[in-house]
Structure 1
Amino acid sequence: MPACFVSYNNMIINKVSVKGKLYLHLIYMAVTQRRDFDDTPAPGFLNPAWMASVPDSRPLSEVTLPGSHNTMARYGGAPTRCQSWPLALQLRAGVRFLDVRVRHVKGNLTIHHGVVYQRAHFGDVLEDVAAFLHERPTEAVLMRLKEEFSETNDIYGSVVSYIHRYAHWNLLWHSRLVPTMVQARGKLIILQDFVGPDLGMRYGSLDIADEWKVPTFLHLPAKWETVRKHLGAAEAGNKAQMFLTYSSGAGIFAYPISVARHINAQLLDHLALRAGKPRRYGILAMDFPAAPLLQTIINFN
């Protein structure tokens, strides 16, 4: 009887029948920890308090920040998986921008990447962020929050309810204005990508490059060119304007992990050539970033 292979995240279950008995063999697929790309369960090193050295008077729009695209998307296999580290480790590794997608059903906010449930709800996100900021009050966390895999266009009330239940109201930065570092420390700054009264800054107020469609590997050069150009625009642009560049991408024939393997390497090479002096690149949101890549970004401050 031929073997049957079933993929489950980083594991292959090999079903083999021998003399009428079924044996399961767990074969772990190779994972990679490079300087630019990391799909292992934990970062190579941590940098939990890097914002402590950023001057209090500096506006957040002038800080270069590493972030994660689709922060909670760790399940569903190659088509939907964008990160390998849990949120608590992402924060301790130095990630300061989160991209959170919630499905809204009868007041409940579960975390989704498209159709795939990510085994968490919005309260889990808030608890991790609140715990981290309590532990590291010199830091600030920005969170893009949007509705996904539901179309109620009415998540505001549920978001407020979750904040009161799983965090606290004063954890938030309650203004559309860009805070200085001293104002931002210890705060969750919601980048509001949904309708309703202000909970923080509006996501649409940022200058954003999110050319996420990468249908095939042949489209990788065009994807990289949008990233490169937007980083240049962020460096030269209005310092009062917040910039956000997504290096992530996906398509039917180019899964997020495959795109990240290529684009992250180009991103690190590009940044390494410009290292050595302060530069403002805004927020860089990535899939599967490695700790050295995060550190390279942080060092521009």
Structure 2
Amino acid sequence: MGTHRTTVATAWMMLVVVLGVLSAPCEGKVQRPDYDDTGTPEFLHPAWMASIPDSRSLSEVTLPGTHNTMAFYGGALTECQSWPLGLQLQAGVRFLDVRLRHVAGNLTVHHGVVYQRAHFGHVLEDVARFLLERPTETVLMRLKEEFSETGDIYAAVVGYVRRHARWDLLWHSRRTPTMGQARGKLVVLQDFSGPDLGMRYGSLDIADDWKVPTLLHVPQKWQSVHKHLAAAAEGNKARVFLTFASGAGIFAYPNAVAQRINARLYKYLSDMAGVSKRLGIVTMDFPAAPLLKMIIDFN
């Protein structure tokens, strides 16, 4: 079984490398109002949560997020973001999607087979630094095991928190906090077994139709996004809604899907500008600063 798994992983890695080379962009980086694959946001919005009332439940806050937050390497098939984590937070991102490979107690950041040149400690240090500088803010972080199958990352996560941040940085409850309770805290959305480190990821109302086989399937992907955003606006205000606007497939790389879905999302939100509406967490690949600001303004 181990040999077979190694062979499959090697073959997949070779495919990723080949497709990454074949898909290397022929033109420069893009910075549009809806899509940005440059290294720097157009502008920053680091303390936008300061104006949200302390009494408001986090489930009633509309906030932007990034899918596969740390996926910067591996070619067009696996790269989902271009801004470093610190800049994502400064630009207004408040939901992070972090995938960890667990080997002998070590937690390295992966997107599938591709190592993203970071470990969980790097993520925690960036988040802790940001929250120390911006105590009015909170960060939600989905944690998921990826490219390992131990099913037991709890102790490793706890060890990293104690070494690279501090224990009281976390919101230690399954309950959804109010904004006042969450300020200065990292709210773990726990997508793994073990005692409570934070809220359970599975308790959220989630739309993550990530499979987009080809670019011809983008309209179906957008329908899923549109439907769930409408549901978030009308749904149970005590429940956190999470909509993934990201998607990919062998013939539809994350950047190509994001250019098309982000444009639709930007127009959809522009048409509702000026309205106070709960959209929940809106998670994207390669978002642009104006799109993040537009999402934030629904608060």
Of 256, 260, 263 in structure 1, the residue corresponding to residue 261 of structure 2 is: 263
Q: What are the ranges of 5 or more consecutive residues in structure 2 without an aligned counterpart?
A: 1-18
Q: Indicate the residue corresponding to 1:24 in structure 2.
A: none
State the distance in 1 between where 2:22 and 2:98 align. 21
State the distance in 2 between where 1:193 and 1:294 align. 25
Q: Indicate the residue corresponding to 2:146 in structure 1.
A: 148
Q: Contact between 2:20 and 2:77, CA under 8 Å: does it hold in 1?
A: no
Greater share of helix residues, 1 or 2? 2
Q: Indicate the residue corresponding to 1:22 in structure 2.
A: none
Of 29, 41, 46 in structure 2, the residue corresponding to residue 48 of structure 1 is: 46
Q: Displacement, 1:7?
A: 7.2
SS at 1:235's partner residue? helix
The structure-2 alpha-carbon separation of the partners of 1:154 and 1:9, relative to structure 1 and needing over 3 Å to count, comes to: farther
Q: Contact between 2:23 and 2:76, CA under 8 Å: does it hold in 1?
A: no
TM-score normalised by structure 1 residue count: 0.91
Q: Indicate the residue corresponding to 2:7 in structure 1.
A: none
Q: Contact between 2:20 and 2:76, CA under 8 Å: does it hold in 1?
A: no
The structure-2 alpha-carbon separation of the partners of 1:244 and 1:7, relative to structure 1 and needing over 3 Å to count, comes to: closer
Q: Indicate the residue corresponding to 2:118 in structure 1.
A: 120
Q: Contact between 1:93 and 1:291, CA under 8 Å: does it hold in 2?
A: yes
State the distance in 2 between where 1:7 and 1:171 align. 38
Q: Indicate the residue corresponding to 2:3 in structure 1.
A: none
Q: Contact between 1:208 and 1:244, CA under 8 Å: does it hold in 2?
A: yes
Q: Contact between 2:56 and 2:179, CA under 8 Å: does it hold in 1?
A: yes
Poorly superposed stretches of 4+, deviation over 6 Å:
6-12
Q: Contact between 1:138 and 1:186, CA under 8 Å: does it hold in 2?
A: yes
Q: Indicate the residue corresponding to 1:100 in structure 2.
A: 98
* Deviation per residue, 1:128-149 (Å, 9 max, x gap): 0000000000000000000000
Q: Contact between 2:110 and 2:146, CA under 8 Å: does it hold in 1?
A: yes
Q: Indicate the residue corresponding to 2:177 in structure 1.
A: 179
Q: Displacement, 1:210?
A: 0.1
Q: Displacement, 1:247?
A: 0.2
AA aligned opposite 1:119: R
Q: Indicate the residue corresponding to 2:11 in structure 1.
A: none
SS at 1:294's partner residue? helix
Q: Displacement, 1:29?
A: 3.9
* Deviation per residue, 1:233-259 (Å, 9 max, x gap): 000001001000000000010000000
Q: Contact between 1:140 and 1:185, CA under 8 Å: does it hold in 2?
A: yes
* Deviation per residue, 1:248-282 (Å, 9 max, x gap): 00001000000000000000000110110211000
> Are 1:219 and 2:217 an aligned pair?
yes
The structure-2 alpha-carbon separation of the partners of 1:138 and 1:116, relative to structure 1 and needing over 3 Å to count, comes to: same
Structure-to-structure mapping, 1:40-79, within 5 angstroms = 40-79=38-77
Which has more radius of gyration?
Answer: 1
SS at 1:120's partner residue? strand
Q: Displacement, 1:11?
A: 7.6
State the distance in 2 between where 1:110 and 1:44 align. 30
> Are 1:244 and 2:237 an aligned pair?
no
Structure-to-structure mapping, 1:32-47, within 5 angstroms = 32-47=30-45
Q: Indicate the residue corresponding to 2:10 in structure 1.
A: none
AA aligned opposite 2:126: D
State the distance in 1 between where 2:298 and 2:176 align. 20
* RMSD of Structure 2 on Structure 1 (CA): 1.5
Of 272, 275, 296 in structure 2, the residue corresponding to residue 274 of structure 1 is: 272
AA aligned opposite 2:214: T
The structure-2 alpha-carbon separation of the partners of 1:211 and 1:11, relative to structure 1 and needing over 3 Å to count, comes to: closer
Q: Contact between 1:36 and 1:264, CA under 8 Å: does it hold in 2?
A: yes
User: How many residues align structurally?
Assistant: 281
Q: Indicate the residue corresponding to 1:170 in structure 2.
A: 168
Between the aligned residues of both structures, percent identity stands at 71
SS at 1:40's partner residue? coil
State the distance in 1 between where 2:20 and 2:147 align. 24
Q: What are the ranges of 5 or more consecutive residues in structure 1 without an aligned counterpart?
A: 1-5, 13-27
State the distance in 1 between where 2:88 and 2:75 align. 19
Q: Displacement, 1:10?
A: 10
SS at 2:140's partner residue? strand
TM-score normalised by structure 2 residue count: 0.92
Q: Indicate the residue corresponding to 1:160 in structure 2.
A: 158
Q: Contact between 1:9 and 1:75, CA under 8 Å: does it hold in 2?
A: no
State the distance in 2 between where 1:164 and 1:295 align. 33
